[in-house]
């Protein structure tokens, strides 16, 4: 078991060794008449051409090592890599800073690399961490830089305005004991989870969904459509499959809601894995409510009737994506942007594929959604790195300058080409998003007005929106185009974000504000087991291995094995902040 003392002990040993070497070097240099080493940027800013300038380069080339979060299909051009691509070359050109990757990984592999780095104390100069727990551990062991004053000095006004649009939620999430210890990702509201249905299959079978055209359908509509797809096999595969779901089933991140049952849960007013306020004001864990039990009853019924994939619980994420790509299933639950990275594979294989996005409404015709928790992704800087301000400069470059440059095709042509070709954002130095709280709908407004010719491309706020307008215009000029990027941008922006915009304007959403999003002391010991218990119990109920009333047994066990203690700690923490 790793302890704070064991980490500190390792670090102390290493630092004493470094100090001994440093002392010897200083003595030697003094004997030779003085040091030729320049002072660090933190001491005097001497490495910068213009100290304090958010976009100033360094006089001499500097190196920054990174931990990089990768993705399976980044769409990098031949010859480019995560370490050497248009974006890393842009950093070199802008700041005279060379990026070297200490490690690259995705998913759980990345989490393991971060854990190893923390355990050994051998951190890269910068890396992303994916939980508040990890951030706190780094702070507790004095492993990362305090970014408070550096942020104030170097962040551009635009970046500060972006963070401020969350009314403190974003920066507060990265603040510990009053000090800003990381640069947080932002997490804008991107609800709801959508139901993406093969429109070409609906047309082929003569099925009309959403007769009133309001974009919202009921569970019965999904059931009937899934049954028709299974019976009539419009993909002509000979082996159609029911709706697939990941075995984790739930998420508190609408952006990561692909193949989850968050949409189904919403129809019952259920918010699994969210911390909520009960009717009496108490703290309630959403996975233990009567509404969640009702939702599991729907899922169990669907599984029994074949509406859910019979191999639910065993398929990987990639396996599920393959079902859509192969034409075995035509109903997918997921976020507004799933056409950009998931459903685009369907278009590549079937040029006739088209999807329409719907959302699920409850019995009263409302769409139940939750406000986003603050993002638990943070960019941290290793304690002792001479140029911590470079982290803020990189944020300025990618989330302000590149995002807003009206002449990016001329000023940053390589990066502009990446955006035009849909190269994945993970290839940027920091695999995070830093967007204003209203950016999704602001960008949609620009795109629609740009397509209609109501504003010129020069009046469009962001480079990404300009590229999206061009792609969507390409699609609209030929809806049978083989251009997958044009197809995906039309589907994600016009169908996906367009639905969010419509429902927002029509006041169709009923919002739930999470009561808590942090980590309590006992969670560190119990949460992994509680989460495993939850997942296994839900799978058993859905697949019929246990009856629906087994849910009550799960709730009882959850409370006894640490849930009640966690709730008490949340109550105490919330009360202490009042």
pLDDT at 33: 38
- At 259, list the tokens: 């193949």
Q: Which of 402, 410, 418, 414 shows the shortest CA–CA distance to 485?
A: 418
- Does residue 182 register a pLDDT over 60? yes
What CA–CA distance (Å, rounded) separates 508 from 365? 8
Question: Distances in Å between the alpha carbon of 296 and those of 371, 404, 529?
Answer: 23, 45, 21
Percent share of the chain, pLDDT over 70:
92
- At 568, list the tokens: 């008490």
What CA–CA distance (Å, rounded) separates 474 from 490? 9
pLDDT at 461: 86
Average pLDDT of the residues of the chain: 91
State mean pLDDT over 113-119.
Answer: 95
Q: Exposed e or buried b for every residue in 441-463, given b needs 16+ CB within 10 A?
A: bebbbbbbebbeeebeeeebbbb
**Residue 333 is inside which H or E element, if any?**
strand 331-334
Question: Distances in Å between the alpha carbon of 559 and those of 279, 333, 500, 575?
Answer: 19, 30, 37, 21
pLDDT at 118: 94
Beta-carbon contacts of residue 222 (< 8 Å; ≥ 6 apart): 195, 243, 331, 360
pLDDT at 143: 97
What CA–CA distance (Å, rounded) separates 499 from 194? 9
- Does residue 308 register a pLDDT over 80? yes
- Does residue 30 register a pLDDT over 70? no
- Worst-scoring range by mean pLDDT, 229-233, 235-239, 278-282, 331-335? 278-282
pLDDT at 10: 42
pLDDT at 378: 97
Q: Taking the model in full, what pTM does it have?
A: 0.76
pLDDT at 72: 82
- Does residue 4 register a pLDDT over 70? no
Q: What is the pLDDT of residues 52-95, one digit of tens each?
A: 899 999 999 999 999 999 998 899 999 999 999 999 999 999 99
pLDDT at 46: 57
Question: Is residue 101 a contact partner of residue 66, using CB atoms and an 8 Å limit?
Answer: yes
Q: Which residue has the higher pLDDT, 176 or 26?
A: 176
Q: Which of 315, 388, 349, 492 shows the shortest CA–CA distance to 143?
A: 388
Q: What is the pLDDT of residues 440-498, one digit of tens each?
A: 999 999 999 999 999 999 899 888 899 999 999 999 999 999 999 999 999 999 999 99
**Residue 141 per-residue DSSP state:** T
């Amino acid at each position: 078991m790793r302890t704070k003392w064991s980490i500190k002990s390792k670090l102390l040993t290493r630092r004493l060794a470094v100090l001994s070497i440093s002392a010897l070097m200083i003595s030697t240099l003094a004997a030779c008449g003085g040091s030729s080493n320049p002072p660090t940027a933190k001491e005097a800013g001497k490495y910068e051409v213009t100290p304090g300038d958010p976009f100033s380069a360094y006089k001499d080339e500097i190196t920054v090592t990174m931990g990089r979060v990768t993705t399976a299909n980044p769409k990098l051009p031949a010859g480019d890599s995560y370490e050497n691509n248009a974006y890393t070359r842009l950093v070199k050109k802008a700041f005279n800073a060379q990026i070297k990757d200490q490690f690259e990984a995705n998913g759980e592999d990345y989490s393991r690399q971060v854990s190893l780095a923390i355990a050994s104390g051998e951190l890269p100069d910068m890396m992303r961490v994916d939980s508040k727990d990890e951030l706190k551990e780094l702070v507790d062991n004095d492993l990362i830089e305090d970014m408070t004053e550096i942020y104030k000095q170097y962040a551009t006004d635009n970046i500060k305005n972006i963070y401020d649009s969350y009314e403190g939620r974003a920066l507060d999430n990265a603040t510990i004991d009053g000090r800003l210890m990381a640069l947080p990702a932002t997490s804008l509201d991107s609800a709801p989870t959508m139901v993406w249905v093969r429109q070409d299959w609906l047309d082929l079978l003569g099925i009309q969904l959403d007769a009133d055209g309001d974009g919202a359908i009921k569970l019965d509509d999904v059931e009937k459509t899934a049954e028709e797809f299974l019976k009539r096999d419009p993909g002509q595969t000979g082996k159609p499959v029911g709706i697939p779901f990941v075995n984790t089933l739930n998420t508190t991140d609408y952006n990561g809601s692909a193949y989850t049952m968050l949409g189904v849960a919403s129809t019952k007013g259920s918010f699994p894995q969210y911390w909520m306020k009960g009717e009496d004001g108490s703290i309630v864990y959403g996975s233990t409510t009567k509404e969640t039990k009702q939702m599991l009853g729907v899922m169990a019924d669907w599984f029994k009737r074949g509406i859910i994939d019979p191999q639910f619980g065993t398929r990987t994420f990639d396996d599920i994506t393959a079902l859509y790509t192969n034409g075995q299933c035509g109903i997918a639950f997921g976020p507004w942007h799933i056409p950009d990275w998931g459903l685009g594979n369907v278009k590549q294989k079937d040029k006739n594929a088209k999807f329409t996005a719907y959302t699920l409404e409850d019995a009263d015709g409302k769409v139940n959604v939750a406000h986003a928790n603050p993002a638990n992704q943070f960019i941290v800087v290793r304690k002792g790195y001479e140029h911590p301000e470079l982290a803020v400069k990189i944020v300025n470059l990618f989330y302000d300058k590149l995002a807003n440059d009206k002449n990016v095709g001329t000023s940053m042509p390589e990066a502009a080409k990446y955006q035009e070709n849909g190269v994945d954002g993970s290839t940027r130095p920091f695999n995070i998003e830093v967007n204003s709280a209203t950016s999704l709908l602001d960008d949609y407004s620009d795109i629609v007005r740009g397509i209609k010719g109501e504003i010129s491309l020069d009046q469009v706020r962001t480079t990404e929106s300009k590229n999206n307008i061009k792609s969507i215009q390409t699609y609209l000029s030929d809806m049978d185009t083989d251009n997958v990027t044009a197809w995906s941008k039309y589907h994600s922006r016009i169908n996906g974000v367009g639905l969010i915009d419509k429902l927002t304007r029509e006041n169709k959403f009923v919002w739930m504000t999470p009561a808590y999003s942090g980590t309590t002391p006992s969670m560190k010991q119990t949460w992994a087991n509680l989460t495993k218990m939850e997942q296994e119990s839900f799978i058993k109920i859905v697949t019929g291995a246990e009856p629906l009333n087994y849910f009550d047994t799960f709730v009882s066990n959850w409370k006894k094995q640490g849930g009640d203690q966690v709730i008490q700690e949340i109550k105490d923490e919330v009360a202490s902040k009042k």
